[in-house]
Amino acid sequence: MTTSSTSAASRPLARSEWVSTLPPWRRLLATLNWRPVYDIEQETEQLKMRSLEGEKRILASERRTKQIEKETEQLKKENKRLAALESKMDALLFTE
């Protein structure tokens, strides 16, 4: 059974977990605290997550805007219908 370490919803790796994924020579360098790539990888992952969250917010906002536009159109139609009914009622009341 294999597990995916690159899942979109996975949490960021802790340093010790990240070190355990490295080849032996990189583990040695990591124990000497020489890790030029780790911080860059973590920042890149955080930027990707923020970007995805921003895109989701934009899509949600667009959906809300479309829904509001639909509701506005529906209200305009209902207002026209009510105005027509009101004018008919006024005509009936004044003719009697």
3 in a domain, yes or no? no
- What tokens appear for 2 in the block? 């294999």
Whether residue 8 is contained in a domain is answered as no
Residues (pLDDT < 50) of the chain are: 1-2, 4-5, 8
33: containing domain: 15-95
Residue 59 is assigned to a structural domain of this protein: yes
pLDDT number for residue 78: 97
Residue 27 falls inside a structural domain = yes
Any domain includes 7: no
Tally of domains in the chain: 1
Q: Residue 41: inside a domain, yes or no?
A: yes
